[in-house]
Structure 1
Amino acid sequence: MRKYVSDTAQLTDEYGIQIGRWQQYRDLGPLPFDAMWCVIPPGASSAEDVHPEVEFAVVTRGTAIYEAAGEKVEVPTGGVILLDPERPHVIHNPSPEVPLTILSIYWMPRTADADADVEGGRDAGAGRG
């Protein structure tokens, strides 16, 4: 059993917030996804971000307000938001006192070819031959 805590993560400045990429946890080895801690100071917001990955974001401390295409969604502690690829978004921390912490887990979306392989009974990760 292993434990990872955002409070002890090595953070760097990225996207206008603090980011702790999970590659720092070398004992994990290769993972089937990428992950990072996102820490947004009280009253602050991230820079706009857009990426090709699907993003599954879990709010672990505070309340997040996700803004995308004029739509705003409030996500409380313990809540999750799922972002589609290529969806520009900004994350706001509305609290004047509490830092916002999010665990972001992301991966490249499946391609139509991979979906067809799975539906056809083949493992999408297996080589063709």
Structure 2
Amino acid sequence: MQTFTLDESQLSQEYGIGIGRWEDHPKKQPLPFDAMWCRVPAHSESAPDEHPEVELAVVVGGTAVFCVDGAEVTAGPGTAVLLSPGERHVIKAAEEPVRILSVYWLPSAAGSGEAG
């Protein structure tokens, strides 16, 4: 067993928010995905982002507003948002900080429906 704990004192500033990448921690075995803790301060938002990875963002604290390609969805603790490759997104926090576990991976040719 191994644990990965959100330690806000060790977050770096990226995309206008606090980020703690799991790749910075030693692992007992390779993981089939990448992951990071994210903290969006109250009354702020992340910088716009889009990437080739699939991203599963799980809200673990606070209430986030995900703005994705012009649409908005409010997500409270326990809500997961699945972002497809290339979707431009911003994460907003209102009255309280938002904490998110982001799990992401490059889609495989078999899983993406592309011939390979």
The letter for the 1-side match of 2:37 is W
Task: Normalising by structure 1, report the TM-score.
Answer: 0.80
The aligned residue for residue 84 of structure 1 is: 84
Larger radius of gyration: 1
The aligned residue for residue 97 of structure 2 is: 99
Give distance in 2, aligned partners of 1:8 and 1:41: 11
Residues paired across the two proteins, number: 116
The letter for the 1-side match of 2:3 is K
The structure carrying a bigger helix percent of its residues is 1
Task: Normalising by structure 2, report the TM-score.
Answer: 0.89
The structure carrying a bigger strand percent of its residues is 2
Moved more, 60-69 or 106-115: 106-115
Give distance in 2, aligned partners of 1:38 and 1:22: 11
Moved more, 30-39 or 105-114: 105-114
When the two chains are superposed, the root-mean-square deviation of aligned CA atoms in Å is 2.3
Contact 1:22 1:36 in 2 (8 A): yes
Q: Unpaired segments of 5 or more residues in structure 2?
A: none
The letter for the 2-side match of 1:73 is V
Query: % of aligned pairs identical?
Result: 46
The letter for the 2-side match of 1:102 is I
Contact 2:48 2:90 in 1 (8 A): yes
Contact 2:4 2:22 in 1 (8 A): no
Contact 1:10 1:24 in 2 (8 A): no
Moved more, 8-17 or 53-62: 8-17
